[in-house]
Amino acid sequence: MTAPAAGELVLRNARLLDGSRADVLITGGLVAAVGPGLAVAAATPCVDLSGDLLLGAFVEPHLHLDKVFTADRGWSDGSLRGAMTSYQRLLAAPTPDVIGRARHGVAALVRNGVTTARVHIGCGRLAGTRFVEAIATVREQAAALIDLQIVAHLGGPAADQHWHSHTRLLRDALDAGADVVGGNPSLEAEPEAALDALLDVAVDRGVPIDLHLDETMDPSVFLLRRLAEQAPDSIPVTASHCVSLGQHPGSVVDEVAELLARKSIRVVTLPATNLYLQRAGSRTGGLPPLDRLLAAGVEVAAGGDNVQDPFNPTGRLDPLDTAGLLTLAAGLDAAQAIRLVTDAGRRVMDRPSAGPVAGSVADLVALRTPEAGSPLAAAGAGRRVWRRGRLVAETRCTVTGPVAAWSAQTRQQRSEEARRP
Ligand SMILES: [Zn+2]
């Protein structure tokens, strides 16, 4: 047997999502082979996963990293408008405060198994490009841990200013380090002018666009159809939220879904925030009709959006929480829900696939979860996270006290029962 190649690692006894057991050989940041009992050089570094569930690392395709951990700075009334008023106060946050909260956010993401994230960062008349610059600094500091993609989330112009001159701020934000054009045209005074101006900048600069769209239960707010009709083929286009789509008849939903699929427009659903802000009067719990979008072949990913801020006072930056909400609110099974927080997110961000599949990027997360338990129940248990084959986080859960002896006794009894003929 030859010596192991540099950067080679073998993960033994992984449990895969289909229930099978396999070893995973990693070389040069990629998965080189997957199978039972892989033969490797004796000196190859080895980690025994002992049946832990091994998945592609999680993706967070939509997060407001400049707003995290601010829920204690001003309570909102649980409405989108109330949260936005509350948010105005955050625009005065000093840059070190923004960087400090974002760094805590990155740590939580990586611990939870996220190695790729798209973050929507506010810019505009009041904040300028200050927050984008702050998060670009964090992106550089965290480059070994996580791949951060920055969306410049542009607020609206002054009443006397036209959208096309206002987007100068967006071009400044792209120059300051943003990768993607963003904004919330549905909430602007001139929604169609806003949408068109944002699209123009993205096309002109040749960068992706990811817009907050139709975050309301009012079906008359329906910019998604205009985006689907006007989206150019030359850049990747993503529509986030798309809440009002769920208020339209099935025939309209299917027609729009077919157009989205045909033009490869991606949809990101944000269950936590929209269950919180749009729950009242909802037929679909504030989510777009995911079943019809998926059936039409639309690329759908799911994100956490807001975490402990005026738009959502809860959240732990854990995609398993998002996956659990998809199951509760939209009826997705565990495998479907996990797909929306792993590989679907990578496709939305145009990143190569990752996971325990030969040829994929070796961004992986191993979850300690009971053999018969749902992977969605693994939140709170131990996790190990690899980025490009390098361990970047290991979280262990230790239980002490009388219940530890109780649990050990229960495991012993169950393994004895399992061995009985
Ligand atoms: Zn958002």
**pLDDT (tens digit, 9 = 90+) per residue, 66-81?**
999 998 886 667 777 8
Distance 166 CA to ligand 1 centre (A): 21
Per the structure block, which two tokens stand in for 254? 């299917």
Distance 362 CA to ligand 1 centre (A): 28
Burial of 144 (0-12, 13-18, 19+ CB in 10 A): exposed
Q: Which residues have C-beta under 5 Å from ligand 1, the single-atom ion?
A: 305
**Amino acid 313: pLDDT:** 86
- Residue 6: pLDDT band (50, 70, 90) is low
CB 235 within 8 A of CB 57: no
Distance 96 CA to ligand 1 centre (A): 22
Name the E strands within 281-331: 300-302
CB 360 within 8 A of CB 30: yes
- Helices then strands, counting H and E runs in the chain, come out as 14, 16
Directed axis angle between helix 130-141 and helix 95-112, to 10°? 40
Distance 241 CA to ligand 1 centre (A): 8
For range 304-329, the mean pLDDT: 92
- Whole-angstrom distance, CA of residue 146 vs CA of residue 29: 14
**Amino acid 80: pLDDT:** 78
**Amino acid 4: pLDDT:** 66
How large is the C-alpha radius of gyration of the chain? 22
For range 232-236, the mean pLDDT: 96
Give me the helices (H) in 127-269, please: 130-141, 163-166, 168-175, 191-205, 223-230, 250-262
Distance 145 CA to ligand 1 centre (A): 23
Delineate the domains of the chain, giving CATH numbers in brackets.
9-57+354-417 (2.30.40.10), 58-344 (3.20.20.140)
Distance 296 CA to ligand 1 centre (A): 24
- Residue 394: pLDDT band (50, 70, 90) is very high
Per the structure block, which two tokens stand in for 351? 């990143």
For range 303-309, the mean pLDDT: 93
**Amino acid 372: pLDDT:** 59
DSSP letter string, 142-174: TTTT-EEEEEEEEPPPPTTS-HHHHTHHHHHHH
Does 1 score more than 50 pLDDT?
no
CB 197 within 8 A of CB 156: no
**Amino acid 2: pLDDT:** 60
240 phi and psi angles, rounded to 5 deg: -100, 150
Distance 212 CA to ligand 1 centre (A): 6
Distance 43 CA to ligand 1 centre (A): 47
Q: Which residue has the higher pLDDT, 333 or 277?
A: 333
Distance 49 CA to ligand 1 centre (A): 36
Percent of the chain at pLDDT > 70 equals 95
Q: Which residue has the higher pLDDT, 415 or 412?
A: 412
**pLDDT (tens digit, 9 = 90+) per residue, 160-219?**
999 989 999 999 999 999 999 999 999 999 999 999 999 999 999 999 999 999 998 899
For range 117-146, the mean pLDDT: 96
Distance 334 CA to ligand 1 centre (A): 24
Distance 269 CA to ligand 1 centre (A): 10
Distance 186 CA to ligand 1 centre (A): 13
Percent of the chain at pLDDT > 90 equals 77
Distance 160 CA to ligand 1 centre (A): 27
Distance 38 CA to ligand 1 centre (A): 43
Distance 81 CA to ligand 1 centre (A): 14
For range 351-371, the mean pLDDT: 92
Distance 386 CA to ligand 1 centre (A): 27
Distance 168 CA to ligand 1 centre (A): 22
Distance 205 CA to ligand 1 centre (A): 22
